[in-house]
Amino acid sequence: MTNIGILGAGQLGRMLALAGYPLGHRFRFLDPASDSPAGLLADHLALGYADTSALEQFANGLDVVTYEFENVPVEAARHLEKFVPVYPPSLALEKAQDRFVEKSFFQELGIPTPKFTIDLNSSFSFPAVLKTRRMGYDGKGQSIVHSQAEVAAEKAVDCILEEFVSFDRELSIIAVRNKSGETKFYPLIENHHRDGILRLSLVIGNVSAELQAQAEEYATRVMSALNYVGVLTIEFFEKDGQLLANEMAPRVHNSGHWTIEGAITSQFENQVRAVCDAPLGSTNPLGVCAMVNLVGTLPDETSILKIEGAHLHLYDKAPRPKRKLGHITLVEKDVATLNEKLDEIRKLYAEF
């Protein structure tokens, strides 16, 4: 039994605890929001990350601390490291919190990225994507710009300008490494976004072995450089058979929710195993899989549950535009059946 502390008590924290309880572990959350999705499941300290006495109260009696989102202040992770091991290492947070630091880090490791600059006056080819360096997620804090004049009009502060990539598709790799250095990878996931928000993830065997090997090699470089422990996600654009790294998340990821029912071991269980230095579980898929995000509104619950094989997950969050409220996973034997089930969901859920 390990006492595991989690920074952040959102849906990812909730799914981590749900995966860790069968292994006999105990959980405690720290999250300033008092009505967090994970709050029902375990002790929840509703105090701020900048409050060192709250951090110490949280750490008391814990064996290990991990986090469910990458915008945990680095200082909070560093402070906790004085009392208890924190995984993934705080260096991973540092690299992932700033898009410029992150893309420069990819380049240092020889991992291709879209072209980028933080010199907003430099000559750059358009269209381009202007993004805040920090705190942007789900398409927030970014806009497409078509000229230098448009960049100037944005009066952007602390931004990165990126080449607009007309990619063939978006893919993510979810990797996991435990303290002993054992490493495993899930198959590359094909992701479909709308308005910058993930809507659909597919694992349907439509990725070449070469691309998979390339993604695994890139993830290995990142994990080795950071002496990484835990689950790591890297999001890529695929363009003409090449991978360009867009960003990484030092945590379990929305594009990996299908692993709960669709893989032998879920990303959540493997994160728990990794930080407890247990052997990692198999990452093999159990069929062809799809994960549909429920964003902003919810479909009729009963109708979804009538779809044979549909696994409904609700995060206990109040509906709000663009908010992730839940997801549905399908695991089928073949792509034709998977598509039929996806069509059934489409008829029931206008947001999809």
- Which residues form the interface with ligand AMP (CB under 6 A)? 114, 129, 136-137, 139, 162-165, 170, 193, 196, 235, 246-247
User: Which CB, 162 or 238, lies closer to ligand AMP?
Assistant: 162
User: Which CB, 193 or 323, lies closer to ligand AMP?
Assistant: 193
Q: Can you tell me the distance from the alpha carbon of 329 to that of 29, in angstroms, rounded to the nearest whole number?
A: 26
Least CB distance from residue 60 to ligand AMP, whole Å? 36
Least CB distance from residue 194 to ligand AMP, whole Å? 9
Least CB distance from residue 32 to ligand AMP, whole Å? 23
User: Which CB, 94 or 235, lies closer to ligand AMP?
Assistant: 235
Query: What is the side-by-side strand order in the sheet with 64-67?
Result: 43-45, 26-30, 3-7, 64-67
Least CB distance from residue 218 to ligand AMP, whole Å? 16
Q: Can you tell me the distance from the alpha carbon of 178 to that of 272, in angstroms, rounded to the nearest whole number?
A: 9
User: Which CB, 18 or 129, lies closer to ligand AMP?
Assistant: 129
Query: What is the side-by-side strand order in the sheet with 159-163?
Result: 116-117, 159-163, 128-132, 142-145
Least CB distance from residue 282 to ligand AMP, whole Å? 28
User: Which CB, 194 or 347, lies closer to ligand AMP?
Assistant: 194
Report the phi/psi class of residue 155: left, alpha or beta, with left for phi > 0 and alpha for psi in -120 to 50: left
Residue among 273, 253, 269 nearest 261 (CA): 269
Least CB distance from residue 28 to ligand AMP, whole Å? 30
Report the phi/psi class of residue 309: left, alpha or beta, with left for phi > 0 and alpha for psi in -120 to 50: left
Residue 115 CA from chain centroid, whole number: 23
User: Which CB, 163 or 182, lies closer to ligand AMP?
Assistant: 163
User: Which CB, 14 or 253, lies closer to ligand AMP?
Assistant: 253
CA-based torsion, 69, 72, 74, 77: positive or negative: negative
**Residues 12, 219, 62: CA angle, nearest 5 degrees:** 40
Are the C-beta atoms of 99 and 133 separated by less than 8 Å?
Answer: yes
Least CB distance from residue 16 to ligand AMP, whole Å? 22
